[in-house]
Amino acid sequence: MTVIEELFEKAKQASATVVFPEGEEPRILEAAETLVREGLAAPVLLGVEETIVHTAAAEGLSMAGITVVDPSSTALMERHARSLSEARGLPEGAAMRLLKKPLYLAGMMVARGDADAMVAGIAHATEDVIMASELTIGMAQGVVAPSSSFVMEVPSRAESREAVVLIFADCAVNPDPSPEELADIAIASATTARELLGWVPRVAMLSFSTKGSAVHPQVDKVREALVAARAKAPDVLIDGELQADAALVPGVAEKKVREPSEVAGRANVLIFPDLDAGNIAYKLVQQLAGAAAYGPILQGFARPVSDLSRGATVEDIVGAAVMVSVRATAADDATDVRKERTEPTKLS
C-alpha cells in the first residue's frame, strides 16, 4: 500500500472527530460526506445550519453523519470564552469577540476536547490559521515555534524495491529559523514521524557541510540547533550537521562521518536549514522524481491542526483530515488523555 492508503486504514480505526471552521464551503461539505461514507472521521462543520443544508442539497450531498455547530450559539461561546479568558489572561469580552471568528472557536473546541483536531485554510491564510491555533490550542510542551513538514513518498527506480518515504521540514512556514527554532522544527518533525507513521525517527540536521567539512555562519547555525535539540529531546535520535548524501546513503556516511551515528546513512526525517532549501527540495523531488508530497502538515501545536491551500481539492481536504485523525489518536494513545481535555494549554 502507499503511505496515504495506510493512513486511510489507520484513520478508520481512529474514529476521530475533526472540526472544520469553514463549514459552509462546498468543498468542505463534499469532503465531510466522503469522510462519513468511508468511515474515516466524524466531521463537525461550523456554520449556519440552514446555509449548510441548503448548500448540501444544491450540491446533491448527504448530511448523514455530519454534525453542524452554529458558531453564534451563546451558550457555546460563553463556555469557551471563559476557558480562553482564564488560559490566556484575556477579558471575557475580548475572548468573546475572538470566538466570533470561526477559526478561534474551532481551536477552542479542539482545546477543550469537543473535537480531536482541526482542518482549516481553504478560506483563510496560513498565518491566520497559525495565529488562531497558537492562541487557542497552544504549543506542545517545550516547543516555541510552529512549523510544517511534508511526507515525501519517492517511487523506487527498481521494481523489486519499495518506495522511499521521508519527512521533509520545514518547507512552508519559517523562512529563516534561528538555531532554537530549528531545534523545535527537528523535535516537532520527530513527533510527526512517530504519530503519523509509527516510526522511530532518525533526524538529520542538513547542511552543505558534514561534521566540520566547511566553515561558515550557516553551518554554525545548524550545529547550534543540534546542540539545542539534543538538550530539549535527549531521547530523540538527532545528528548533524550532515550533507544530504551523508544523511541518506550508508556508503557515503561511512566515508564522511568518522564518529558513531545512529542517523547518518539511515535518516528518515530531514531538517533543512531554511525555507529556501526545504521548499526548493520538496518541489524538486516532487517534479523530477515523481514523488507524492503529502502536506504541508502543521506541527508543534498541543493538538493536531492542518492547513489547506486556497486551491485545495476535495481529495486534499480528505487527506488532511485523515492525517490529523491519525496523529490525534496516536498522541492520545501515547499519553492516555483522549477525551480528558478541559482547557487550552496554559501559557508558560
- Number of domains, the chain: 2
89 part of a folded domain: yes
Instruction: Report the alpha-carbon distance of residue 93 to residue 12 in Å, rounded.
Output: 40
Residues 49 and 160 in one domain: no
- How does pLDDT run across 241-254, given as a tens digit for each residue? 999 999 999 999 99
Residues 103 and 24 in one domain: yes
Residue 338 dihedral angles phi and psi, to the nearest 5°: -55, 130
For residue 220, give its domain range: 147-293
Residues 80 and 151 in one domain: no
29 part of a folded domain: yes
Predicted pLDDT of residue 79: 84
- How does pLDDT run across 288-319, given as a tens digit for each residue? 999 999 888 999 999 999 999 888 899 999 99
Residues 42 and 74 in one domain: yes
Residues 234 and 307 in one domain: no
Would you call 270 helix, strand, or coil by DSSP? Answer: strand
Residues 310 and 280 in one domain: no
The C-alpha angle 303, 122, 106, rounded to 5 degrees, equals: 40
Instruction: Report the alpha-carbon distance of residue 343 to residue 52 in Å, rounded.
Output: 29
Nearest partner of 222 among 260, 278, 268, judged by Cα:
278
Residue labelled with grid coordinates 451563546: 74
Enter the C-alpha cell of residue 139. Answer: 504549543
Beta strand 164-169 with 147-154 is antiparallel
Q: Kindly report the CATH number assigned to the domain that includes residue 180.
A: 3.40.50.10750
Instruction: Report the alpha-carbon distance of residue 57 to residue 311 in Å, rounded.
Output: 23
Q: Kindly report the CATH number assigned to the domain that includes residue 123.
A: 3.40.50.10950
How many distinct helices (H) and strands (E) make up the chain?
A: 13, 11
Residue 199 dihedral angles phi and psi, to the nearest 5°: -80, 160
Average pLDDT, the chain: 90
Q: Does the pLDDT at position 273 exceed 90?
A: yes
343 part of a folded domain: no
Residue 45 dihedral angles phi and psi, to the nearest 5°: -105, 130
Instruction: Report the alpha-carbon distance of residue 156 to residue 166 in Å, rounded.
Output: 13
Residues 134 and 182 in one domain: no
Instruction: Report the alpha-carbon distance of residue 295 to residue 292 in Å, rounded.
Output: 10
Residues 6+ apart with CB under 8 A from 226: 183, 205, 238, 239, 240, 241
Nearest partner of 57 among 20, 29, 28, 23, judged by Cα:
29
Instruction: Report the alpha-carbon distance of residue 111 to residue 85 in Å, rounded.
Output: 13
pTM of the shown model: 0.86
- How does pLDDT run across 143-192, given as a tens digit for each residue? 888 999 999 999 876 665 678 999 999 999 999 999 999 999 999 999 99
Residues 6+ apart with CB under 8 A from 260: none
For residue 98, count CB atoms less than 10 angstroms from its CB and return exposed for 0-12, middle for 13-18, buried for 19 or more. buried
- How does pLDDT run across 213-267, given as a tens digit for each residue? 999 999 999 999 999 999 999 999 999 899 999 999 999 999 999 999 999 999 9
DSSP labels for 149-176? Answer: EEEEEEPPSSTTSPPEEEEEE-SSS-SS
Q: What percent of the chain has pLDDT over 90?
A: 74
Nearest partner of 95 among 136, 44, 124, judged by Cα:
136
Instruction: Report the alpha-carbon distance of residue 115 to residue 324 in Å, rounded.
Output: 11
Residues 126 and 188 in one domain: no
Residues 93 and 172 in one domain: no
The C-alpha angle 143, 148, 149, rounded to 5 degrees, equals: 115
Residues 269 and 131 in one domain: no
- How does pLDDT run across 5-54, given as a tens digit for each residue? 999 999 999 889 999 999 999 999 999 999 999 999 999 999 999 999 99
Residues 230 and 321 in one domain: no
Residues 125 and 18 in one domain: yes
